[in-house]
């Protein structure tokens, strides 16, 4: 039985649900005309954005929209489970194939992919052709063009990722009669930032392996009217108002980063004194909620400090926090990489994306420096 909620709430985990959460319509968060045109033209393209920005929610909403039109057969699949296979290509590609089969059955009530997978396993089909073969058979035996959304592609590692990209590229020329018409690869990174080290220690860039990519689209943050509209939903449902100063502060502190907006709003409305719906949300309540959010270090914020382990991220972040913000100090590729990860805002000078990230990264940088200093003091 589905849970029953007396109130909707601000979502901080997983895709949004209209019956559970306050939300901004996912289909309004990107250029739908552009997306629909790319699909109709049979393009393969990339959608990337920082974690917990709303990528999965947008893909699921787009799948429902397109399937309702009944022009395509659209299937979404999160293939992150293949990450653990690393350079075991058979296990990795078979995991992807199994996931696709399960999602085709879930979203299209099509159980044939499970049968085709079992047949390939019995025939000891080579792993480097399993995915291409499955997609080819599926497209050839389906009346409508197939559109495929592959999520968390950049979570895959090494030879498994190389094989997946090469098999998609190999089938590209057979679309749409014998291969999916359009495929969206979704992840945190643009495909050009995939850095793949194979089992033979060969370094490959994702761009070279997926040179059929037509576009690389980035899902942006909420704009300020989106934030106000999201919070207004809470006021309409519960009667609990936000003072103008509190609304301004939330926007300033989050700069529209979707997880931060929802997390801070949840902290202030569903914790402590904010649960009293007769109490308006004030600036002081918002400031207190911000401090709680930073101190409790949810996974989203904890991952920020973990990224400091990457030298290219550490060097840029350290210089920005130290006040060295001129563009000429940084490599263009490193800046674009950090911007794609949502860590910085770019302009004539660079700055950390929002004040909450800045404080979190500064704490992480301070801890790292103290740790290195302590290690140095203990060595002779």
CA 221 to chain centre: 12
Mind listing the pLDDT tens digit for each residue in 43-101? 999 999 888 999 999 999 999 999 999 999 999 999 999 999 988 999 999 999 999 99
Instruction: Residue 298: name the closest of 286, 287, 289 by CA.
Output: 289
Indicate left, alpha or beta for 5 from its phi (over 0: left) and psi (-120 to 50: alpha).
beta
Q: How far apart are CA 224 and CA 255, in angstroms?
A: 8
Cα 15–chain centre separation: 11
Question: How many other CB atoms sit within 10 Å of the CB of residue 196?
Answer: 20
The two three-digit tokens of residue 241, written as one number? 């108002």
Domain ranges of the chain: 26-218, 224-296, 302-377
Q: Maximum CA pair distance of the chain?
A: 72
Q: Can you tell me the distance from the alpha carbon of 35 to that of 47, in angstroms, rounded to the nearest whole number?
A: 10
Give the CATH superfamily of 26-218.
P-loop containing nucleotide triphosphate hydrolases (3.40.50.300)
The mean pLDDT of the chain is: 89
Exposure class string for 15-51: b at 16+ Cβ within 10 A, else e: bbeeeebbbbebeebbeeeebeebbeebbbbbbbbbe
The model's pTM is 0.88
Question: Radius of gyration over alpha carbons of the chain, in Å?
Answer: 23
- 258-310 tens-digit pLDDT: 999 999 999 999 998 999 999 999 999 999 999 999 998 888 998 888 889 98
pLDDT tens for residues 310-354?
A: 888 898 898 888 887 655 566 777 888 888 889 998 766 789 999
DSSP secondary-structure letter at 273?
Answer: G
Burial profile 108-127: b = 16 or more Cβ within 10 angstroms, e = fewer:
bebebbbebbeebeeeebeb
Tell me the C-alpha distance between 262 and 21, whole Å: 10
302-377: CATH number: 1.10.10
């Amino acid at each position: 039985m589905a849970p029953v909620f007396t109130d909707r709430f601000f979502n901080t985990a997983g895709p949004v649900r209209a019956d559970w959460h306050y939300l901004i319509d996912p289909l309004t968060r990107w250029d739908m005309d552009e997306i629909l045109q790319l699909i109709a033209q049979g393009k393969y393209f990339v959608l990337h954005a920082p974690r917990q920005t709303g990528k999965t929610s947008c893909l699921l909403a787009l799948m429902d929209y397109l399937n309702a039109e009944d022009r395509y057969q659209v299937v979404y699949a999160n293939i992150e489970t293949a990450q653990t296979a690393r350079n075991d290509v058979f296990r990795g590609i078979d995991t992807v194939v199994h996931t696709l089969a399960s999602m085709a059955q879930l979203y299209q009530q099509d159980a044939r992919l499970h049968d085709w997978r079992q047949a390939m396993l019995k025939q000891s089909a080579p792993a480097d052709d399993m995915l291409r073969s499955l997609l080819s058979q599926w497209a050839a035996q389906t009346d409508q063009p197939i559109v495929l959304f592959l999520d968390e592609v950049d979570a895959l590692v090494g030879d498994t990722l190389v094989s997946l990209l090469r098999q998609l590229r190999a089938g590209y020329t057979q679309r749409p009669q014998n291969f999916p018409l359009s495929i969206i690869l979704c992840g945190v990174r643009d495909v050009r930032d995939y850095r793949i080290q194979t089992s033979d220690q060969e370094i490959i860039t994702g761009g070279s392996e997926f040179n059929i990519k037509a576009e690389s689209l980035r899902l942006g943050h909420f704009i300020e009217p989106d934030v106000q509209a999201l919070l207004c939903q809470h006021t309409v449902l519960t009667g609990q108002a936000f003072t103008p100063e509190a609304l301004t502060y939330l926007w300033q502190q989050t700069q529209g980063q979707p997880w931060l907006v929802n997390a801070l709003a949840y902290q202030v409305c569903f914790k402590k004194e904010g649960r009293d719906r007769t109490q308006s949300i004030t600036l002081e309540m918002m400031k207190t909620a911000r401090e709680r959010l930073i101190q409790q270090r949810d996974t989203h914020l904890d991952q920020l400090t973990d990224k400091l382990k990457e030298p290219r991220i550490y060097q840029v972040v350290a210089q920005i926090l130290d006040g060295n913000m001129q563009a000429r100090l940084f490599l263009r590729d490193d800046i674009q990489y950090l911007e794609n990860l949502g860590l910085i805002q770019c302009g004539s000078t660079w700055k950390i994306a929002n004040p909450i990230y800045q404080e979190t990264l500064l704490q992480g940088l301070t801890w790292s420096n103290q740790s290195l200093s302590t290690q140095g003091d203990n060595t002779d």
